[in-house]
Structure 1
Amino acid sequence: MASLARWCFRHRRLVLLLWIAAIAVLGGVSQAAGSDYKDAFSLPGTDSQKAIDLLQRDFPAASGDSATIVLHSKNGVAVTDPALKAPATEMLDKLAKVPHVSDVGSPYGPRGASQISSDGHTAFATIDFDEQGIDLPKDDIQQLVDTARGYDSSTLQVEATGQVVSITEQQQQSYSEFIGIAAAAIILFIAFGSLLAMTLPLITAIVALGVGSLLIILLSHVLTIAEFSPILATLIGLGVGIDYALFIVNRHRIGLRAGKSPEEAAVTAVNTSGRAVLFAGITVCIALLGMFALGVSFLYGVAISAAVAVAMTMAAAVTLLPALLGFYGMRVLSKRDRRKLADSGPEHENTGGFWWRWAKGIERRPQLFAVISAVVILIIAIPFFSLRLGSSDLGNGDSSKTTKRGYDLLADGFGPGFNGPFTIVAEIKSPQDTANLNAVVKAARATPGVASVSEPRPSPNGQAAIVSLYPTTSPQAEDTSKLLKKLRDDVVPQANPSHTGIYVGGITAIFEDFSSTLSSKLPLFIGVVVVLAFLLLVAVFRSLLVPLTASVMNLLAVGAAFGVVVAVFQWGWGSSLFSITGGPVEAFIPVILFAILFGLSMDYEVFLVSRMHEEWTARRDNRLAVSLGQAETGRVISAAGAIMTLVFASFILGDERVIKLMGLGLASAIVIDAFIIRTVLVPSLMHVFGKANWWVPAWLDRILPRISVESAEDIEELQHTPLPPDALTSAGQPVGTGGHVRQVPGQPGREEGSPRAGEPTH
């Protein structure tokens, strides 16, 4: 790391030019190629997937996606009134000519009576496409929406709704990140007291994010990457990018104030904090790529795009940042710091102040602080045990969207379950199969919770038939989920004793199956991520207890974040504040949030404990190591936590419910992690555990790879660093320069019991 940092510092113009060239080249290629994001996923073995496969084989006209055009009278007359019927019919004729539209089911057709509400004020037309929404060109969907909405008037309200239409409403560009960047800039200026120093983390993060975003655009052509992936990657990359650069710049400034040259300070910063950045970033990537253990292809692209963004921030932090430090020179320090350095000479980082007093307070009553902080976190996490996975429907959207307005009109005119019908698909090979389907239809009509069931509609080749079943409850309602389970487990098997191919599918069933699939694999995913991160920390810190504590603490942070998410997005607490309505939590959210939060929580653990480990390696005093490590990282971790919280919270201002949810979940987790877990709970527990923190079995120590966050030079420097006056050993004697340090015979400067320079630590 030292060699890399020195090379980048000395060849700073070349390094900067390479990063600029990367943005220019990737930008040009991505501009020419465009993006190809797709929200595609399949659920092999589920009823909903079997229904889709059967329709694609025997009923291609019904295997594509569909949309709904809603007509509503504004002046109280019936929608069949000639004054409303004429423009509506003209509009539907135009929609039939839109590319990829295979059929238009008009309410004014021979079988359109069921498409008009009982009061006659609302009607709908069904629009069938020849492909799934993920395969349809967005321009064609937009053409359909624009054509329909063009007939909205003072007397006739025209809305377009359905999952296909919602594709055109997905957020294409978010400006909320600029609010997060502005807030981060303010905190950085307060932390550094220098306008120039403030710009370093911002420039590094933005350049890394730019390269990462362009790579994701290109990857969308070779991988299936969901539409929301770029926003998610921006959210993660911006937060960790600023934080990683902040840790390195902070260490660099400490070196400058201690009298080092800009080059030596930059090399030391990258060789210490830069190593911690790499280990922290690797744990984030491990957590993200752990989503591959779920076996759900929809999440692969999400994981890769987020990991690419994190990888670019790591690369920029250890290459671009030292180059920028070379350009900035001593101006990284404020004018006051430079003046003080010139007048008073070099000085080591002052361990006194608020964070030292706070660390000493934790040291005096570790059990009390551990209990209080743990209770607070557990209380926040209580709602997590009520988590209900599913899929919020279009009724959760904002009323500014045509999909939301259309959804509400259909719910008012035809009942809440009309927006999420189940599709019963049957394979027809004999008259008995037809009889079995009719028996299922009859039984379904008598099932509580079913509003209506359509007559079977045969496929053109006679090999399949479909039936639409409308629940009495909305798609996201828990009763709808229970109805699906009852249909599959009881109604269909009992009415179909020969167990011929009859499946319950539809968009609502797809989301339910998706939720069940992810829930069943979630324990494996969590286990893989936790074990891999645990093994990495064991190798880094040569300890069993520190990685175990880190894993438990990270799980607590994730649980508390889920508690906040459930309270707001499921229970509806403060829903008006966030412009959302309560509903289930999207099935894939826990997976993504866990991957991100576990990785980010490990970031702070690595930065905190690596500093403690340096002190432990240098002085072999656990109490002193924990207090000094906490005091010296407290300010920068709190600043980093505040920055990341504001960056994540800024995404709550966006339009998409999913992005709002992730923004709130990530922001609340960072608050809990940075200001409760790393500030109170972890130091308290490490004081309680004592020297056991740093124990590892001899046999395990022999086989573990030699990985170190700190260098031998930094350990030797620490041994000569003055300590605060009240930093006493457990025996009550001062330690460090100015105290009575027992030297190892023949090795001046090394305390008895401490390792030799370059010697592995245990």
Structure 2
Amino acid sequence: MAFLDSSLAGAVGRLARGCARHRGFLLVAWIIVLASAALYVRGAGAQYTQQVAPTGSESDRALTNVTAISPGGQLPDVETIVVRAREGTLDDRMARDRMTLLIAQVGKLPGVALVADPGGPLGPATVGVTPISADRRTAMISVVLKGTALAPDLAAVRRVQDLALAYDDPQFQVEMSGPGITAIETAGISTTPLIFALLAGLLLVIAAVRSPSGLLICLVSGAVAATLAVAATAKLAHTVVMTPFAPMVAGLLAFGICLGGAVVIVYRAQSALLRGEDGIQAAETATATSGAALAVGGLSLTVAMAVVSIVGLSGFRGIALAAAAVGTITILVVLTLLPALLGLAGTRLLGWTERRFLSVAGAGLGRRPGLRSWWATQVGRYPAQVAVVAGMLLVGLTVQASSIRLGGGDSGAEPTSTTSRRAYDLVSEGFFPGLNGPVLVAVRQAPAKARPATRSVTSADVAAALAAAPGVRNAAVMLEDTAKGLAVIRVLPQPGPRSEEASELIHQLRAEVLPAVLRDTATTADVGGPTALFDDAAAGFRGSVVALLCIVLLTVALVAFVVSRSAVLAALLGLSATLSVQAAGGVLTILFQNERFAERLGVMVSPVEPFVLVPVFVAVLGLAPGMNLVLLGRLREQNRAASDRSAGGPSGNGQDRPRERAGGRRSIIRSARDGIARGHAELGHVVLTMNMVMLLVAVAIAAQPPRTLKMMGFGLAAGVAVDALVLRVAALPAIAHLFRLSHAENASRTSRQDTYTAGRTDRPPRARRANPVTVEGIEGSVERQTVPTTPLLVGRAGDPGGNEKWNGHRTRTPGLRSGVPPRPRTPAPSDLAAQHGNGTPYFYEIRVPRDGRR
């Protein structure tokens, strides 16, 4: 509780104690809430919509005008079947008959409105060029479905896909592309990586908690939080626009935070039980320390995301509200459900062996320190070097993030295992790459009285000017409604949609070509299409990211400062959260914008879509504050414990030392460095377990075939890995060592000297001879337990046994071969009452091996 204000920590502890005591009523209430949330998710009927273009952008205006002039006021869903003759040409009789039969059968499928024969008049009208390549080997068949481009009828698309791909054979290649095919491929998730991640995550959690009850508590907490998060997202989807990624991000974020928090809290409750506390006391101790830290992290997430939503950052509003709900759910689960489950479990939270040893010995089994204690010692020994190396890595990734290219991908960047990628390659080879991503220019004729003009211009004039622009293969009027004063011009650029040349062409059309032809007219034109949409989204996203990072840094730092009163701790938490996000962006730059790495992933070099970065950034920001607070809070606890023990208590005279439980253990912590290293070794690996579980989930997402899921998975994995392996394992402990307050160290040394001097002058002679009994600590460090004992040979001078008492000095006594007494035994309760001479008990030092055997 050292990192929190004492009154706040006390309130959290009292709340946890009350929840543990009234666990029956509380668990019934949680069951009702969980059942209601599950039923709501099942019957809510929430609609999730991907924001196609930033509100108010030029591409958004173009999309609105194109929709207004389209039949039925909806963008039609046009899927494209690409056929290629592997041998000969499509004019061969066998190939022509197969293509004719394919067109006829597709036209009869339910949900199909129109099929354009490449050899008929509808073919060029739907494609914009002659749909048969110059070498007569490739053709494009346009299929218009009854759904819309933004909400395709996936069942109808699957029927067309199954029928079309059935025609593929060694002589006749058939592939498909379109918005419906892209949606199907994106939703096609392989279950094998997810199952592997689930099993590996379970093994990690089992290794951390080491008991069936502890594992069950962790899984229940994560599942409850995820269910409530999805239900909250579904509720919010009725009032704000939620992207399809929102429920997945909310559920994953809630599951990760609460699962990781449960692992840490269960571990600390187990440590409290091994010290001799009962179940309710253990629940109170764990919640008032690590649970309070997670609650503060959840509060930081809630406040930061609420501010982001209120500000209305482009692309972040809906998912930020979902993340704010996740923060609130985290607070409720950690402060109420977890204490109740811990109180219900009691000592069953421990493994069978630990329970048996605890019932017999009254204390827990020692646990070997392992690699974590060695690493914690090295960090404490060389904190500056560790901090420099970690800082250089973070700076390097941040520099990479500054050069990230935002924009949009296309089917040409997908793995070659997808049919949309193969269709993209066939069109690019048979025709030209720009045919895969046409530019749509919406032309509006304003009334002359509303906007006086010196000359007039028609949509055909605008199309002619666009066709003459460098980099344009063809431009023609596709749709026109004179009554509405609207027209749509389809521009076919030479470069592919995701290329830098295509983005430069969009900029040229907007800045030079259209202003020149529309100057002094009542006509306006807006440039839209896939490339323009992503370019506008990227432009708005750049400004939003800067604002997002500033809001998160200031909010997290402010909340941390309010509850901890430590400027250093507040700055560390805010900075670490923002660095994790920038590092995730840097890793995506390296993987997807470097040809060598992209080829190894099975994708092509492409920009990073803003809609992919939004969930990545929100998830990384949500996971960082709580776990960082848990670790830093533990380090501060041990740091303060070191100062208090050295000084004899907060006042330096031992009068204010907290009351210890009878039979409890006190750590031998000689300095703040020892305290920080012990806290790092004790809790660092448990916090790391949570990150490894989330890392496995992220890798399972990255293992999916679609490129967008690969980007999202690798972005999450990068943020989690940097947060865990760089910040929590190395940077934060090293900084804690560097910033352990020098005055605390000086006060510690002064207090130890004063205590030693006072002991030599004021302590009774026999009291100076008292030695403590030391046993191995629960986490592998040596802890001190002062227990009064009697000499091994209890007796008085002249006893019938002929043995003289051992007087604490190295002098030979009758009956002993040397001046060193034999190995002492554990004192029995009757021995504790035995006294010698003037009634002062004797003390012996007993050291217990690491494995717990005497």
| TM-score, normalised via structure 2 length | 0.75
User: How many angstroms apart in 2 are the aligned matches of 1:9 and 1:433?
Assistant: 80
- Equivalent in 67, 84, 89 of residue 78 of structure 2: 67
CA gap of 1:653–1:20, structure 2 versus 1, over 3 A, is farther
* Structure with the higher helix share, 1 or 2: 1
Aligned twin of 1:731: 749
Corresponding position: 1:532 with 2:555:
yes
- Equivalent in 98, 115, 119 of residue 131 of structure 2: 115
User: How many angstroms apart in 2 are the aligned matches of 1:460 and 1:572?
Assistant: 48
CA gap of 1:230–1:178, structure 2 versus 1, over 3 A, is farther
Per the TM alignment, residue 393 of structure 1 is displaced from its structure 2 partner at its CA by 1.0
Residue by residue, what CA displacement relative to the aligned partner does 1:53-105 show, whole Å, maximum 9, x if unpaired?
A: 22333444685144232231335344355544555456546666778766554
User: How many angstroms apart in 2 are the aligned matches of 1:100 and 1:49?
Assistant: 28
Structure 1 segment 177-196 matched on structure 2, within 5 A = 177-196=194-213
Aligned twin of 2:527: 504
How many matched pairs?
Answer: 710
Corresponding position: 1:292 with 2:292:
no
Aligned twin of 1:159: 175
SS of structure 2 residue aligned to 1:588? helix
Farther-moved stretch of structure 1 (402-411 vs 150-159): 150-159
CA gap of 1:40–1:496, structure 2 versus 1, over 3 A, is same
CA gap of 1:15–1:138, structure 2 versus 1, over 3 A, is farther
CA gap of 1:399–1:355, structure 2 versus 1, over 3 A, is closer
Counterpart of 1:46, as a letter, is S
Farther-moved stretch of structure 1 (457-466 vs 538-547): 457-466
User: How many angstroms apart in 2 are the aligned matches of 1:693 and 1:53?
Assistant: 65
Per the TM alignment, residue 511 of structure 1 is displaced from its structure 2 partner at its CA by 1.5
Counterpart of 1:192, as a letter, is V
User: How many angstroms apart in 2 are the aligned matches of 1:51 and 1:416?
Assistant: 23
User: How many angstroms apart in 2 are the aligned matches of 1:409 and 1:198?
Assistant: 52
Residue by residue, what CA displacement relative to the aligned partner does 1:421-442 show, whole Å, maximum 9, x if unpaired?
A: 1112212468998746445434
Where does the alignment leave 5 or more consecutive residues of structure 2 unmatched? 1-11, 125-129, 645-670, 761-854
User: How many angstroms apart in 1 are the aligned matches of 2:712 and 2:502?
Assistant: 25
Aligned twin of 1:458: 480
- Equivalent in 684, 691, 698 of residue 634 of structure 1: 684
Q: Is the 8 A contact 1:107 1:125 kept in 2?
A: yes
CA gap of 1:100–1:177, structure 2 versus 1, over 3 A, is same
Corresponding position: 1:331 with 2:331:
no
User: How many angstroms apart in 2 are the aligned matches of 1:103 and 1:498?
Assistant: 41
Aligned twin of 1:482: 504
Aligned twin of 1:202: 219
Structure 1 segment 535-614 matched on structure 2, within 5 A = 535-614=558-637
Structure 1 segment 635-654 matched on structure 2, within 5 A = 635-654=685-704
Residue by residue, what CA displacement relative to the aligned partner does 1:400-430 show, whole Å, maximum 9, x if unpaired?
A: 4332232222222111111111112212468
Per the TM alignment, residue 2 of structure 1 is displaced from its structure 2 partner at its CA by 3.5
User: How many angstroms apart in 1 are the aligned matches of 2:405 and 2:437?
Assistant: 18
Aligned twin of 2:67: 56
- Equivalent in 256, 261, 265 of residue 273 of structure 2: 256
Per the TM alignment, residue 488 of structure 1 is displaced from its structure 2 partner at its CA by 0.9
Aligned twin of 2:741: 691
Farther-moved stretch of structure 1 (672-681 vs 258-267): 672-681
User: How many angstroms apart in 2 are the aligned matches of 1:79 and 1:348?
Assistant: 79
- Equivalent in 349, 352, 371 of residue 388 of structure 2: 371
Q: Is the 8 A contact 1:183 1:647 kept in 2?
A: no
CA gap of 1:601–1:271, structure 2 versus 1, over 3 A, is same
SS of structure 1 residue aligned to 2:625? helix
- Equivalent in 494, 498, 515 of residue 472 of structure 1: 494
Per the TM alignment, residue 261 of structure 1 is displaced from its structure 2 partner at its CA by 0.7
Per the TM alignment, residue 193 of structure 1 is displaced from its structure 2 partner at its CA by 3.2
Counterpart of 1:257, as a letter, is L
CA gap of 1:580–1:232, structure 2 versus 1, over 3 A, is farther
SS of structure 2 residue aligned to 1:611? helix
User: How many angstroms apart in 2 are the aligned matches of 1:626 and 1:490?
Assistant: 62
Corresponding position: 1:233 with 2:241:
no
Aligned twin of 1:407: 424
Farther-moved stretch of structure 1 (253-262 vs 175-184): 175-184
CA gap of 1:685–1:575, structure 2 versus 1, over 3 A, is same
User: How many angstroms apart in 2 are the aligned matches of 1:271 and 1:353?
Assistant: 28
SS of structure 1 residue aligned to 2:83? strand
Aligned twin of 1:427: 444
Q: Is the 8 A contact 1:236 1:310 kept in 2?
A: no
Aligned twin of 2:713: 663
Residue by residue, what CA displacement relative to the aligned partner does 1:504-561 show, whole Å, maximum 9, x if unpaired?
A: 1112211211111222332222222221111101101102222123322333332222
Per the TM alignment, residue 690 of structure 1 is displaced from its structure 2 partner at its CA by 4.0
Aligned twin of 1:126: 142
Q: Is the 8 A contact 1:70 1:122 kept in 2?
A: no
Q: Is the 8 A contact 2:80 2:141 kept in 1?
A: yes
Q: Is the 8 A contact 1:534 1:551 kept in 2?
A: yes
SS of structure 2 residue aligned to 1:411? helix
User: How many angstroms apart in 2 are the aligned matches of 1:662 and 1:539?
Assistant: 34
SS of structure 2 residue aligned to 1:126? strand
Q: Is the 8 A contact 1:209 1:313 kept in 2?
A: no
Per the TM alignment, residue 586 of structure 1 is displaced from its structure 2 partner at its CA by 0.9
Farther-moved stretch of structure 1 (238-247 vs 86-95): 86-95
| TM-score, normalised via structure 1 length | 0.83
- Equivalent in 58, 72, 94 of residue 47 of structure 1: 58
Query: What percentage of aligned pairs have identical amino acids?
Result: 27
Q: Is the 8 A contact 1:418 1:474 kept in 2?
A: yes
Per the TM alignment, residue 16 of structure 1 is displaced from its structure 2 partner at its CA by 3.9
